Chain A
Amino acid sequence: MAKRIDVSGLTAFYGSHKAIDDISMTVEPRSVTAFIGPSGCGKSTFLRTLNRMHEVTPGGRVEGKVLLDDEDLYGSGVDPVAVRRTIGMVFQRPNPFPTMSIFDNVAAGLKLNGSYKKSELNDVVEKSLKGANLWNEVKDRLNKPGSGLSGGQQQRLCIARAIAVEPQVLLMDEPCSALDPISTLAIEDLIGELKERFTIVIVTHNMQQAARVSDRTAFFNLAAVGQPGKLVEIDETERIFSNPSVQATEDYISGRFG
């Protein structure tokens, strides 16, 4: 179910601009890894290289290796569509399909990947919505449009949609930055439950959030504006927040810059 990610020597470009430079790290299965760092340090770009969404942006280009267990995502003959099918993603702003019902939103990924019986779809939708802690709130209005939900509910709908296809890895790009504190809490609780089943990588601006939800934390930084972002260090979350090995990390965490 959950797989390990091994990144080695990964560099990403926008056209001729180098966005992140030579990043290597390992993401453990069934754990939450948080990416923190100042704005523009390339943590979101790096996240998007992990399911080949980076190359969707015009001019986006990647060098280096990303191994999912033993398979290189950027190897020859690898289908980016299959990669994204295997590594799910939740975005900064909730983005349910506006014209689809709640049910269809959750079932959308399944319908792409083969034909299912109505009863099978029902099962998967129910299971995914339960897995996203949304079932009790929407079970009576599955046929209503997803855009009618509150922001927090929409984000959990998007998580349900992502986990319905049972990916190996779940990438989350600042999933709570558009939400109020109560919805944020609900998502954070959910992340704690989901890590039993998935490998989770989360980008966040909120250091308390990183401390609360993650097992390991990676700190990204950039030397100067216009320079590519780099991985400063990655370690157990507790260590990063109590006794980091690099001075820059401590400065950032204690609020001296960023």
Chain B
Amino acid sequence: MDISSSNTTAPAPPPVDREPVAPASKAAARGATRPGDRIFLGFSRGSGIALLVIMAAIALFLAYRTTLALADNTGNFLTTFEWDPAGVSTGGKPYFGIAVLVFGTVVSSVIALAIAVPVAIGIALFISHYAPRKLASPIAYVIDLLAAVPSIVYGLWGALVVAPSLTGLYSWLDDYFGWTGIFEYEGGAPRSLMTVGILLAIMILPIITNVSREVFLQVPKMHEEAALALGATRWEVIRMSVLPFGRSGIISASMLGLGRALGETIAVATVLSPNFLINASVLDYGGGTFAQNIASKFNEASEYGQDALIASGLVLFLITLLVNGAARLIIARRKEYSGANA
């Protein structure tokens, strides 16, 4: 009896509400929605709708300018290997396509994911299962710092510090793996897709780490104890209980990271020596990315040139929309999963 009554007692109204409530308004509040409520609801719902309108407007305006750009393009937008909207080499006829950009964007993002996903899973496991408990939260903070560094600073550091120190590694890769064709290196400043991939890997590390860590921490204790009680080592516990439980979380985390890598602009524009050709070797010059191409070509572009860049931006927008949407759907399907927003 005592217990039940103490449970239902409403907590005292918060002290914030200092204005006394007149008894008259009590009755009024029960009735139909007051004008104040309607206005407030209108504003907040309107804001939500405004967000949807912005999303739609982005797609529509980009699509409109894209149609203008494509109408005069004499090349095939999807398969052409050149970017010449001013028609310098064709006597004034615009000739451009995104083939090289697709190549460069995909290759650099794949390299970034290939490096970042294992490292991020390792760090997430380190924080959730390996690090001494006192160290876990400072380490998580360090990872957050990595996320807070602006991409232009990554670009500057990548171009002036990282790239010069990669020559040795690239020559070594060329010596031993050059025969594969992928790791041929002719020397020169290493500002290739590989370098971009390494830099992107560092940049997307925090988001993949944070989302995976959240999932690993949610593994029910009882699943881990089940494995422990069978005489499993720490690694076997992780293999039997943690990784299977966290698999969909790792996948969506990687896709969120992929979304970031695909759209990263200024760090890539700073590090990459763009070259409008496809080169099988990721260590040599060759390729560009959608976002980097927009940033690098924008200054010299005429209005038509800007439309051409907008056309490539629309493709980038659609790709990232697809990747992020898929990642969010996977997350939403896991009911146990509670908001990760890094």
B contact residues around A93 at 8 Å (CB): 222
Q: CA separation between A53 and B245, bound complex, in Å?
A: 22
A contact residues around B133 at 8 Å (CB): 58
| Contact of A161 with B223 in the complex, beta carbons under 8 Å | no
Residue of B228, B231, B233, B240 near A97 (CB, 8 A) is: B240
| Contact of A81 with B240 in the complex, beta carbons under 8 Å | no
* Interface 0/1 of A83-107, CB less than 8 Å to B: 1111011010101111110000000
Residue of A51, A83, A108, A165 near B240 (CB, 8 A) is: A108
Given contacts A84-B231, A85-B231, contact A95 B236 (CB under 8 A): no
| Residue among A89, A96, A100 with max Cβ neighbours from chain B (10 Å) | A89
Q: Which of B202-238 contact A (CB under 8 A)?
A: 220, 222-223, 225-233, 236
Q: CA separation between A4 and B234, bound complex, in Å?
A: 28
Residue of B229, B233, B241 near A88 (CB, 8 A) is: B229
Q: CA separation between A172 and B326, bound complex, in Å?
A: 43
| Residue among B229, B240, B241 with max Cβ neighbours from chain A (10 Å) | B229
In the complex, B164 has a CB within 8 A of chain A: no
| Contact of B230 with A112 in the complex, beta carbons under 8 Å | yes
Interface size on B, residues (CB 8 A): 18
Residue of B229, B233, B236 near A53 (CB, 8 A) is: B229
Given contacts A58-B133, A108-B240, contact A98 B223 (CB under 8 A): yes
Closest A residue to B222 by CB, please name it: A95
B contact residues around A83 at 8 Å (CB): 231
In the complex, B244 has a CB within 8 A of chain A: yes
In the complex, A82 has a CB within 8 A of chain B: yes
| Contact of A89 with B229 in the complex, beta carbons under 8 Å | yes
Closest B residue to A161 by CB, please name it: B230
In the complex, A162 has a CB within 8 A of chain B: yes
B contact residues around A165 at 8 Å (CB): 230-231
B contact residues around A82 at 8 Å (CB): 231
Nearest CB on B from A117, distance (A): 20
Closest A residue to B220 by CB, please name it: A95
Nearest CB on A from B246, distance (A): 11
| Contact of B236 with A112 in the complex, beta carbons under 8 Å | yes
In the complex, A131 has a CB within 8 A of chain B: no
| Contact of B226 with A91 in the complex, beta carbons under 8 Å | yes
The interface size bin for chain A is 20 to 34
A contact residues around B245 at 8 Å (CB): 98-99
B contact residues around A86 at 8 Å (CB): 231
B contact residues around A125 at 8 Å (CB): none
A contact residues around B220 at 8 Å (CB): 95
Nearest CB on A from B319, distance (A): 31
Q: Which of A100-144 contact B (CB under 8 A)?
A: 100, 108-109, 112-113
Nearest CB on A from B128, distance (A): 13
B contact residues around A89 at 8 Å (CB): 225, 229
Nearest CB on A from B132, distance (A): 10
Residue of A56, A58, A99, A162 near B230 (CB, 8 A) is: A162
| Contact of B244 with A91 in the complex, beta carbons under 8 Å | no
In the complex, A176 has a CB within 8 A of chain B: no
Residue of B223, B231, B233, B241 near A109 (CB, 8 A) is: B231
Q: Which of B221-279 contact A (CB under 8 A)?
A: 222-223, 225-233, 236, 240-241, 244-245
| Contact of B222 with A97 in the complex, beta carbons under 8 Å | no
B contact residues around A95 at 8 Å (CB): 220, 222-223, 225-226
B contact residues around A100 at 8 Å (CB): 244
| Contact of A81 with B231 in the complex, beta carbons under 8 Å | yes
| Contact of B241 with A84 in the complex, beta carbons under 8 Å | no
In the complex, A158 has a CB within 8 A of chain B: yes
A contact residues around B241 at 8 Å (CB): 97
A contact residues around B227 at 8 Å (CB): 97, 108
B contact residues around A84 at 8 Å (CB): 228-232
Given contacts A97-B244, A99-B244, contact A81 B232 (CB under 8 A): yes
| Contact of A158 with B230 in the complex, beta carbons under 8 Å | no
Closest B residue to A96 by CB, please name it: B226
Residue of B223, B228, B236, B244 near A56 (CB, 8 A) is: B228
| Residue among B222, B226, B232 with max Cβ neighbours from chain A (10 Å) | B226
B contact residues around A162 at 8 Å (CB): 229-230
Q: CA separation between A89 and B225, bound complex, in Å?
A: 9
Q: CA separation between A109 and B240, bound complex, in Å?
A: 11
Q: CA separation between A56 and B226, bound complex, in Å?
A: 12
| Contact of A97 with B229 in the complex, beta carbons under 8 Å | no
A contact residues around B233 at 8 Å (CB): 81
B contact residues around A98 at 8 Å (CB): 223, 244-245
Nearest CB on B from A70, distance (A): 20
Given contacts A58-B133, A108-B240, contact A91 B222 (CB under 8 A): yes
Q: Which of A213-229 contact B (CB under 8 A)?
A: none
Given A108-B227, A109-B230, A162-B229, 4 more A-B residue pairs with CB atoms under 8 Å apart are: A85-B231, A91-B225, A91-B229, A95-B222
What 9 A-B pairs come out closest when comparing CB atoms? A85-B231, A89-B229, A99-B244, A109-B230, A95-B222, A95-B226, A84-B231, A81-B231, A81-B233
18 A-B pairs with CB atoms under 8 Å apart are: A81-B232, A82-B231, A84-B229, A84-B231, A84-B232, A85-B230, A89-B229, A91-B222, A91-B225, A91-B226, A95-B222, A97-B226, A97-B244, A98-B245, A108-B230, A109-B231, A112-B236, A113-B231
